[in-house]
Amino acid sequence: MSFENEIQRITVIGDNSIISCMHLFNEYFLPTLLVTDKNGVFLGTLTDGDIRRAFLQGIRISDPIYQAMQKNAVVGYTNESPRSRFARMKSGKIRHLPILDSTGHLAGLEIEQAFLPVQTASTSAVIMCGGLGTRMGCLTKNCPKPMLPVGGKPMLERILENLMRNGISKFYFAVNYLHEIIEKHFGDGSQWGVEIQYLREQQRLGTGGALSLIPEQPKSPIIVMNGDVLTDVNFRHMLSFHNYNRAFATMGIAEFTFQNPYGVVNYSENKLMGFEEKPVNSWFINSGCYIIEPDLLQFVPKDTFIDMPTLIQQAQHKNKDILVYPICETWMDVGRQGDYAEAQSVQLYGEDNE
């Protein structure tokens, strides 16, 4: 596949911030971006996976692109035959090959067909909506938490529409508490042009146990997501990552940052060594977003409460490949009343275009 006529669309400047180019992956579903200097001389390539790996290594999305890019990319040249280019890609297991002219400027890009963005039409999504929402206090006395209005519409509707933007059209809503409110609002999904089926829990089964209610085992990977998580993570790229690495399950992880409100004292035995004023610590936490292989459903017990982390751990103990996928995009767990107030101003990618 060649991009000679659209090279500018997929080219970014190395000094620009990582966040400045992330929308290109979302908007065009491209597997790679080409990085140049201000004069158009090729510097390297940048993939969604490069950004995720850089994020795990402590690089922030506000840092320049060149800190995350692949600097030693294999390239081809305009004076080569297409057969020669593809032979190099095949022998080196290269998924994308920048094409340069004799001056080192970009002229095109060859992409391995197998690595084009995955089609999600056959992928289904399960959204967990059955929790009691007790941490929300009186807000959920007469309303299930996923139906609380956030930014003018129910939170669950925003989750649904974000997944729709990623090409998902088949949904399962796992429901229990005040399920009739959810079912009345969404019906069979036809108003949104999608299919919605309901997994009705007769007893609380947890975020993993509800998977046992899926009427027939899907043939494609399944997106599983908590019904109180707002995120605009690119599920197409997450699914490509999952498929390419042949994962049994992929867990989305998000960075949680905490600033200690006090000055920390550093000492050795009884000797003062120094102060650290209000240090900031960060950890990667479970985001409540997963992609699982259909075979994971065999680990789900019938009519038994089990959460997703426990289910994932059981598969891991059976030597199944469980991978993590860092979420650099907007992510918010709307689990407490303070979170709910903050969520009102959250803008997800693509919503401003609707």
- pTM of the predicted model, to two decimals? 0.78
Token pair of 266 as six digits: 């550093």
As a whole number of angstroms, the distance between CA 266 and CA 120 comes to 52
Please give the pLDDT value at position 215: 92
As a whole number of angstroms, the distance between CA 169 and CA 318 comes to 32
Sign of CA dihedral 58, 60, 66, 72: positive
> What domains can be seen in the chain, in order of their start residue?
4-115 (3.10.580.10), 124-353 (3.90.550.10)
Cα–Cα–Cα angle for 270, 271, 274, rounded to 5 degrees? 130
As a whole number of angstroms, the distance between CA 330 and CA 162 comes to 12
The DSSP call for residue 105 is: B
CB 45 within 8 A of CB 69: yes
Pairing verdict, β 11-13 and 331-333:
unpaired
CB 212 within 8 A of CB 296: no
* Helix, strand, or coil (residue 306): coil
Side-chain-side CA neighbours of residue 127 (13 Å): 27
Cα 38 to Cα 17, 24, 119, distances in angstroms: 14, 19, 34
Please give the pLDDT value at position 90: 76
What is the chain's pLDDT, residue by residue, as a tens digit (354 residues)? 444 446 777 889 999 999 888 878 777 666 788 999 998 899 999 988 899 999 989 899 899 999 999 998 888 888 887 778 777 887 777 777 888 888 988 877 777 654 445 566 689 999 999 998 888 889 899 999 999 999 889 999 999 999 998 899 999 999 999 999 999 999 999 999 999 999 999 999 999 999 999 999 899 999 999 999 999 898 988 998 899 889 999 999 998 988 889 999 998 988 999 999 998 888 999 999 999 999 999 999 998 999 999 999 999 999 999 999 999 888 999 988 888 888 888 877 666 644
* The residue type at 53: R
Residue 209's nearest CA partner among 301, 318, 296, 293 is 301
Alpha helices in the chain (DSSP H): 18-28, 48-56, 82-91, 155-165, 179-186, 206-209, 235-244, 308-317, 337-343
Residue 354's nearest CA partner among 96, 158, 182, 67 is 158
Please give the pLDDT value at position 353: 47
As a whole number of angstroms, the distance between CA 144 and CA 146 comes to 6
What torsion do the CA atoms of 14, 114, 250, 201 make, to the nearest 10 degrees? 130
In sequence order, the 6+-apart residues with CB closer than 8 A to the CB of 146 are: 127, 129, 154, 155, 156, 159, 182, 227, 228
Cα 75 to Cα 48, 58, 86, 99, 282, distances in angstroms: 19, 28, 11, 6, 38
Cα 64 to Cα 13, 19, 76, 173, distances in angstroms: 9, 9, 26, 40
Residue 157's nearest CA partner among 108, 208, 192, 126 is 192
Token pair of 342 as six digits: 């903050």
